[in-house]
Amino acid sequence: MRPVDAFSPPPDGEDPVLAELAAAALDAATAAASHAAAAAGRRRLAVDTKTSATDMVSEVDREAEGLIASILRERRPADGLLAEEGASRTGTSGIRWVVDPLDGTTNYLFGVPAWSVSVAAERDGRPVVGVVVDAARSETWAAVEGRPARCNGEPCRVAEGRSQLATALVGTGFGYDPGRRAWQAEVLRSVLPAVRDIRRFGSAALDLCWVAGGRLDAYFEWGLNPWDLSAGLLVCQQAGGIVAIVGERLVVAGTPSLHAPLVGLLEAAGASRPPAGGREPRHW
């Protein structure tokens, strides 16, 4: 897919740097997703753990991240980089790339087709370009600040007006720390009876994009890091959604009419105030 197909056309007078960033993001994310898809059939994968025994990282995560870092370094050598598996650098251009080379590693390793590659360019601390590639569905979600979001070149919009809170399909995610997961289970006891149903797919970037495309009405999760959030946040916002960080680290995304009621429900359930045992390191 070419940049002209993946992104909405630029408005007159748009900063030309955005087109350069969009092309680099698309090329890097597509290359990494193709590599990961091709590697999915390997008989044996080298797997390590990070924050807990269930927080896994494979050699494919590292290979994909190295590929993205190489492409971005060649195309934009003065830019900074923040990547999940450590391929980070300080830049001088005012642009920082935020990269998750394989969002949904557990799904990937277990053969569950719900993983993605997420690449975002940030300027002044906010994403201005975001690309999320879902290789299993051959879908590319893409957005540039100030332009409508697209999926495979077609405009996408949140499902505004479809659901009230009681009929909303809501996505969420869980952490790796046992204490945090126990607390999140308690939060669900309050949230689940108040909505249509809950879905947990295992890739925050896809959850945000699926809100953007109307597959979910809303999504919430505590404790996301920048690489989990940046690209999908922009896609969701440019599709008409609202994405906010509530309290310390609770990310809530949804349609304009659902966002405030969901935030109220989550705050009443204690979702923005984790107990000490439910905290994990922050990497902002």
Tell me what the pLDDT averaged over the chain comes to.
90
Look at residue 264 in the predicted model and tell me its pLDDT.
98
Taking residues 198-214, report their average pLDDT.
Answer: 98
Confidence of residue 47 (pLDDT cuts 50, 70, 90): low
Look at residue 260 in the predicted model and tell me its pLDDT.
98
Confidence of residue 50 (pLDDT cuts 50, 70, 90): very low
The answer, yes or no, to whether residue 57 has pLDDT greater than 60, is no
| CA 180 to centroid of chain Cα atoms | 20
Please write the tens of the pLDDT for every residue from 78-128. Answer: 999 999 877 789 999 999 999 999 999 889 988 999 999 999 999 999 999
Taking residues 267-278, report their average pLDDT.
Answer: 80
Please write the tens of the pLDDT for every residue from 177-204. Answer: 888 899 999 999 999 999 999 999 999 9
- Per the CB < 8 A criterion, the answer to whether 11 and 31 are in contact is no
- Residue 97 tokens read as 């790339």
Radius of gyration for the alpha carbons in the chain, expressed in angstroms and rounded = 18
Look at residue 274 in the predicted model and tell me its pLDDT.
79
Taking residues 195-222, report their average pLDDT.
Answer: 98
Report the alpha-carbon distance of residue 22 to residue 28 in Å, rounded.
10
- Residue 220 tokens read as 């919430």
Closest to 95 (Cα-Cα) out of 119, 123, 127, 118: 123
What domains can you pick out in the chain, each with its CATH number? Answer: 3-155 (3.30.540.10), 165-278 (3.40.190.80)
Look at residue 248 in the predicted model and tell me its pLDDT.
84
Please write the tens of the pLDDT for every residue from 120-152. Answer: 999 999 999 999 999 999 999 999 999 999 999
Phi-psi region of 176 (alpha: psi -120 to 50; beta: other; left: phi over 0): alpha
